[in-house]
Amino acid sequence: MLIAIIAFTVALPSQAIEKPATVDPVVCAVDVEAQMVRPWQDYEFSHQTPGGPMWLAGRGCFLSAADVSRAYLARGPLLGVREQAITQLHLARYLAYGGDEVAAAQAAASARRSDQRTGQEIPLDWNSYVQGLYAFLVKDRPLLDANLERLRASPNQGDAVNGRNLAALSSCFNRSYYEAMTDATCWAPETPAP
């Protein structure tokens, strides 16, 4: 189901990051104008379309992915609350992977949602995940722990996935986001469901 894929894309455990961060101008080149006219769904989630943010991130071009995401928010199609929040969250993660955790925290602070989730979206506590990410980036341990516990207490599968991400951040709280997301020692083994 496409809607479930979209919701989980923002929360997949980040061991999927295959390349170290790079700013190589050849590897990270992007035609920004071509990205601005792409429909949001394709722009935001396609791993195959050259120059898109997930395509760039898959090559380690995290800051280029952040740049094109920032441009899309400012110059691309006008987005609804849901779409803007997802793009802001992805922007925060690209910046954090690229080492700019101050800018990442600012982007994460803008990723909370004020709208009601629709019945077409999988149930998950979006704002707790966003606040937990923000807490890690600004090194607010109590805020991270509170949001992690909310996700752990949830019966929703999406919250379990997001909780694993926050647990990795909690486990490696004093490290960079990139290290916490890519170092296997930060990730506790999954507990089998009863």
Tell me the per-residue pLDDT of 137-176, one tens digit each, with 9 for 90 and over.
Answer: 999 999 999 999 999 999 999 999 999 999 999 999 999 9
Contact 111, 89 (CB under 8 A): yes
Contact 158, 147 (CB under 8 A): no
* Statement: residue 13 has pLDDT above 90: no
Contact 78, 124 (CB under 8 A): no
Q: Please, which pLDDT band fits residue 188 given cuts at 50, 70 and 90?
A: confident
Q: Where are the alpha helices (DSSP H) in 38-176?
A: 40-45, 53-57, 62-75, 81-97, 101-109, 126-138, 141-153, 157-171
Contacts 24+ apart (CB under 8 A), 82-89: 82/113, 82/115, 82/118, 82/121, 83/40, 83/44, 85/111, 85/112, 85/113, 85/126, 85/130, 86/6, 86/10, 86/44, 86/111, 87/40, 87/44, 89/10, 89/130, 89/133
- Of the candidates 58, 45, 47, which has an alpha carbon nearest to the alpha carbon of residue 7? 45
Residue located via tokens 């050259």: 50
pLDDT value, residue 122: 82
- Of the candidates 109, 85, 26, 12, which has an alpha carbon nearest to the alpha carbon of residue 54? 12
pLDDT value, residue 192: 47
Question: Could you give the 3-state DSSP secondary structure of residue 77?
Answer: coil
Decide which of 23 and 100 is more confident: 100
Torsions phi, psi of 16, nearest 5? -70, -15
pLDDT tens digits for range 98-146: 999 999 999 999 999 988 677 778 889 999 999 999 999 999 999 999 9
Give the angle subtended at the CA of 19 by the CAs of 151 and 89, to the nearest 5°: 35
Average pLDDT, the chain: 88
Contact 79, 115 (CB under 8 A): no
- Predicted TM-score (pTM) of the model is 0.87
